[in-house]
Every structure is written in structure tokens, then in C-alpha cells.
């Protein structure tokens, strides 16, 4: 009977232990699945943030393109008065041509035409002043539109900073932006991500953004001037054809005449009078984000984007009237906006200052209210650092002992301990205490059907996936989490990566 009782006791103990082992394995699997879901969800959140940065960077580039278009229209409008002034000079030479033909009595009509031609000079001047006044009346609206676009760039970057801050909060503990629902649904008793592991996540995120502090090697931060060149190049490459390069040839009635309004062309025809007419030609104009002023608008690759500028070269105006003809170069018109109040020519079409803050003219942390910054990707040529693509880690723990006899009667008591005096005093632990789970996800860039496309923050193709650990990464995560036993096990040299 004693042996039977002892056997029954051992069988009961083995059954209890099997229940505890099964429960512990189930809870460990549940914890690992929660850890994987946590790491993946944080990576998805981070990928969405990077995609938002890409889309909003495109919006900033589009705002710069819109600013260039505004300058292009304003510069072309400012050119109209210069055509009239070229017509005035043509009229002067036509008068001289007429006077040169009125030396005899039979040619007296040429003298009359010469006097009439001199009279038309004032008509051309008045027309030039009229068109200057028309453009000047638009100048304040133009400056307001440019100022609004400048503020819109600041507002867009402010939204980028807000998204960045919210993403950082979520990466720190894995609970922000509704991530806490994962724990509630998957493993309510699991711990939050430790601050140390959250710090690793934030550092990896920062290392992907140029201008933020990044620990652990890799490229340093680019200068504001270098970042400005990138955004300036993107904005200039995004211009439409008309703003980038508009020109014509000296061909009468050609469909590629200067892009002047029909009303203005009719005015030129009316100013010439009679059956004669003026022919504008060799026009060229462009608008661009450049280093400064109106210089090198037709070139200047690699500019820092300190100003938005446009200029229009009127080329030539050929005028015929009565028995004379003349061609005269049309003075250039330009308009640009920068931090130094810009410039505008001709002066008769100008009123007030032309302000523009420039592109990325300050360091990253000085861009909250000024500087027109944007989120730039910090490219890393090292494949061992995944070319700068960030990783996300999760390390969480959870008690696998229920500690509640009503829910887990096989644990016998709240401590799941069994004391016996068989063979001396002994305590048997019927269930494990805590379990730990560690996971890694990667945020990566992939444009469909184009693996060669490098990671950047202008194309919204950032994605997330679970990713295997490198041994050094696992040691780092376990080390900062304080799990020295697991870290020593992971550091064993004869274990595979």
C-alpha cells in the first residue's frame, strides 16, 4: 500500500508537471507571437512615417515648382513694357530713315512720315508705362502668393516633425498610436518594451534621417548646404517644360512665338498701325530655384536654392512702318525672391520686397519655424548596416506561471510549489517563472520591379518585414535588456548565427 501510494503520488506529480510544461510552452509561443507582432507593427508604423516623409517631400518640391511658375509668369508679364520700349526705339530709327528720304520736293511725304514717326514714339512710351502699371498692380498679389507658398513649406516640414515625434514615442515603448491594443489582445500580462530597447529603435530611426544624432558608426550628418542642393535639384527637375525652357525662333506668325497673350500681340499690331506690323523673335525665358539673384538661371546645376528666380530675354523686335523698318533688342526682364528682399526689373513694374526663405538654409533642429527644411535619407554604403535601412527590435517578458489555482489548478497554489519531507525536506517548483521573447523587423525600401532603386525619401516605397538577427545585434538587445544568461548563451562561439 505504501508503494502504491508513492506511485500514485509520483504519477500525479508527473501529470501536474506535464500540465505546467504544456502551459509554459503555450504561453511562450503566445509571447513570441506577440513579440513578433510588436516588432512588425512598429516597423510598419516606421515605414508609414518614412512614406509620409517621401510624399511630403514631394509636396515641398511641388511648392517650389509652383513658386518657380509664379516667377515665370511675373517675369514674362514684366517683359511686356520692354517690348513697347523697343518699339519706341525702332520708331525713332524709322523716323530717321524717313527723314533721310525727304531731301527733294517730290519726296516731301517722307518728311511728313518722319514727323509722324517721331510722334508715335510717345505713343510707344505711354503704352510701355501702361503695361508697367498693369504688372505693378499684380506685384502685391504675386508677393503674397510667394509668401504663402513659403509658409506652406514651413507648415509641411512642421507636420513632418510632428509625425517624427509620434513615431519616436511609439518606438520607445511600443504602446503609442494604438500599439497598446496588441498587448491587450495578444498577451495582457506581457511587459512593455524596455526603455533601453526602445532607445535602440529610436537610434536606428534617427540614423535613417540625415541631420539627427546617430550613435554606432555610419556616415555623419550632411551640411544644410548639401541637403539644400538635393531638394533644389529635385524641384528643378520637376518643373514643367514651359517654366524650365520657353523660347521661340525668328519666324513670322510661327506657333512658337513668345508666349505673350493675344491681347498683348494685338496691342503690338495696333501700335505699329496701318498695314505694317511688329515681329517679336529670338525670345528665351526660364524659371528656377538657384543660388541667388537672377544669375545663372539657365544653368547652375548643383545650386543651393537660396532664391526662386525667373528671367525673360525678349530677343528682338522687328518693326515696319510706312517706308521704314528696324529691329532692336528687347531688354531683359527678371524677378527673384530671397532673404534679401529680392529684385524685379523693369523698375516700373516693381513694388515692395520679394521675400523667400530659401531651401534648407539652417541646421535640422533650427528648422521648426524657419529654414524650409525637409526629411532627407542618410544613405549608408555599408551592406553590414543594411545601407542605412533601419531595424526595429522587441524584447518583452511575461510570467508563465498563472499564480491562480482557480485558473490553473495543476499549480496547486499561488507559488506553484510543493514541499515534501520524503528523503528530507524539499521544495519542488511546478511551473517556470518568467519567459522572454526577442524579435527583429526591418524597414526596407523596394520599388516594385526595380531592386536597383536606392533608398530615398522622395519615393514612398518603404515596407516592413520580420528579419533574422545577426549575432551582434542579438547580443546588443539582450545586453541592454539585462538578460545576461541569454546573452552569454547567444555569445557561445559554436552556435550558428
406 is a domain residue: yes
DSSP category for residue 387:
G
User: How do residues 137-152 score in pLDDT, each as one tens digit?
Assistant: 999 999 999 999 999 9
**Which bin fits 207, alpha (ψ -120 to 50), beta or left (φ > 0)?**
alpha
361 is a domain residue: yes
Same domain flag for 483 and 426: yes
User: How do residues 440-491 score in pLDDT, each as one tens digit?
Assistant: 999 999 998 888 889 999 999 999 999 999 888 888 898 888 887 777 777 7
Same domain flag for 252 and 389: no
* pLDDT greater at residue 447 or residue 317: 447
412 is a domain residue: yes
Same domain flag for 361 and 378: no
Task: Report phi then psi at 436, rounded to 5.
Answer: -130, 150
With bands split at pLDDT 50, 70 and 90, how would you rate the model's confidence at 302?
A: low
220 is a domain residue: no
In the listed set 336, 366, 396, which residue is the last one of a domain according to the structure?
A: 366
Same domain flag for 134 and 231: yes
204 is a domain residue: yes
User: How do residues 355-413 score in pLDDT, each as one tens digit?
Assistant: 998 887 776 666 755 667 899 999 888 888 889 999 999 999 887 766 565 666 655 55
Query: What is the torsional sign of CA 491, 46, 369, 457?
Result: positive
Same domain flag for 32 and 172: yes
With bands split at pLDDT 50, 70 and 90, how would you rate the model's confidence at 276?
A: very low
414 is a domain residue: yes
Q: Give the per-residue pLDDT at 272.
A: 59
Q: What is the 3-state secondary structure (H, E, C) of the chain?
A: CHHHHHHHHHHHHHHHHHHHHHHHHHHHHHHHHHHHHHHHHHHHHHHHHHHHHHHHHHHHHHHHHHHHHHHHHHHHHHHHHHHHHHHHHHHHHHHHHHHHCCCCHHHHHHHHHHHHHHHHHHHHHHHHHHHHHHHHHHHHHHHHHHHHHHHHHHHHHHHHHHHHHHHHHHHHHCCCCCCHHHHHHHCCCCCCCCHHHHHHHHHHHHHCECCCCCCCCCCCCCCHHHHHHHHHHHHHHCCCHHHHCEECCCCCCCCCCCCCCHHHHHHHHHHHCCCCCEEEECCEEEEEEECCCCCCCCCCCCCCCCEEEEEEECCEEEEEECCEEEEEECCCEEEEEECCCCEEECHHHCCCCCECCCCCCCCHHHCCCCCCCCCCECCCCCHHHHHHCCEEEEEEEEECCCCCCCCCHHHCCCCCEEEECCCCCEEEECCCCEEEEEEEEEEEECECCECCCCCCCCCCCEEEEECCCCHHHHHHHHHHHCCHHHHHHHCCCCCCC
Q: Taking residues 247-276, report their average pLDDT.
A: 56
How many domains would you assign to the chain?
2
Q: Give the per-residue pLDDT at 263.
A: 67
Same domain flag for 357 and 385: no
Q: Give the per-residue pLDDT at 58.
A: 95
What residue numbers bound the domain in which 350 lies?
71-146+226-366
Q: Give the per-residue pLDDT at 262.
A: 64
Amino acid at each position: 500500500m505504501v508503494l502504491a501510494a508513492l506511485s500514485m503520488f509520483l504519477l500525479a506529480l508527473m501529470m501536474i508537471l506535464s500540465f505546467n510544461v504544456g502551459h509554459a510552452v503555450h504561453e511562450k509561443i503566445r509571447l513570441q507571437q506577440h513579440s513578433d507582432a510588436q516588432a512588425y507593427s512598429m516597423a510598419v508604423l516606421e515605414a508609414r512615417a518614412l512614406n509620409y516623409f517621401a510624399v511630403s517631400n514631394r509636396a515641398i518640391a511641388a511648392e517650389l515648382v509652383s513658386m518657380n511658375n509664379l516667377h515665370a509668369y511675373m517675369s514674362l508679364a514684366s517683359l511686356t513694357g520692354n517690348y513697347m520700349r523697343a518699339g519706341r526705339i525702332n520708331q525713332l530709327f524709322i523716323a530717321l530713315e524717313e527723314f533721310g528720304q525727304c531731301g527733294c520736293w517730290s519726296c516731301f511725304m517722307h518728311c511728313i512720315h518722319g514727323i509722324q514717326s517721331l510722334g508715335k514714339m510717345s505713343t510707344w512710351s505711354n503704352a510701355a508705362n501702361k503695361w508697367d502699371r498693369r504688372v505693378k498692380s499684380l506685384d502685391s498679389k504675386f508677393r503674397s502668393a510667394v509668401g504663402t507658398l513659403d509658409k506652406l513649406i514651413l507648415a509641411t516640414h512642421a507636420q513632418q516633425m510632428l509625425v517624427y515625434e509620434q513615431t519616436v514615442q511609439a518606438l520607445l515603448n511600443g504602446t503609442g498610436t494604438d500599439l497598446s491594443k496588441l498587448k491587450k489582445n495578444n498577451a495582457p500580462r506581457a511587459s512593455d518594451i524596455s526603455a533601453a530597447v526602445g532607445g535602440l529603435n529610436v537610434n536606428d530611426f534617427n540614423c535613417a534621417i540625415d541631420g539627427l544624432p546617430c550613435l554606432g558608426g555610419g556616415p555623419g550628418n550632411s551640411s544644410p548646404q548639401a541637403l539644400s542642393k538635393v531638394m533644389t535639384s529635385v524641384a528643378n527637375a520637376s518643373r514643367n517644360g514651359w517654366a524650365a525652357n520657353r523660347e521661340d525662333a525668328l519666324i513670322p506668325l510661327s506657333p512658337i512665338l513668345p508666349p505673350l497673350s493675344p491681347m498683348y500681340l494685338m496691342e503690338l499690331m495696333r501700335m505699329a498701325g496701318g498695314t505694317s506690323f511688329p515681329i517679336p523673335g529670338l525670345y528665351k525665358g526660364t524659371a528656377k530655384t538657384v543660388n541667388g539673384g537672377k544669375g545663372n538661371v539657365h544653368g547652375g546645376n548643383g545650386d543651393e536654392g537660396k532664391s526662386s528666380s525667373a528671367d525673360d530675354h525678349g530677343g528682338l523686335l522687328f518693326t515696319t512702318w510706312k517706308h521704314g523698318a528696324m529691329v532692336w533688342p528687347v531688354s531683359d526682364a527678371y524677378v527673384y525672391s530671397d532673404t534679401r528682399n529680392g529684385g524685379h526689373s523693369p523698375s516700373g513694374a516693381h513694388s515692395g520686397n520679394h521675400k523667400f526663405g530659401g531651401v534648407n538654409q539652417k541646421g535640422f533642429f533650427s528648422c521648426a519655424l524657419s529654414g524650409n527644411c525637409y526629411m532627407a535619407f542618410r544613405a549608408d554604403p555599408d551592406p553590414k548596416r543594411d545601407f542605412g535601412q533601419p531595424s526595429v527590435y522587441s524584447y518583452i517578458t511575461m510570467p508563465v506561471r498563472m499564480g491562480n489555482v482557480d485558473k490553473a489548478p495543476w499549480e496547486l497554489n499561488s507559488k506553484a510549489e510543493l514541499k515534501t519531507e520524503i528523503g528530507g525536506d524539499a521544495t519542488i517548483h511546478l511551473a517556470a517563472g518568467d519567459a522572454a521573447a526577442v524579435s527583429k523587423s526591418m524597414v526596407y525600401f523596394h520599388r516594385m520591379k526595380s531592386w536597383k532603386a536606392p533608398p530615398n525619401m522622395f519615393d514612398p516605397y518603404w515596407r516592413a518585414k520580420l528579419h533574422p538577427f545577426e549575432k551582434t545585434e542579438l547580443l546588443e538587445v539582450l545586453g541592454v535588456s539585462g538578460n545576461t544568461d541569454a546573452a552569454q548563451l547567444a555569445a557561445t562561439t559554436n552556435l550558428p548565427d
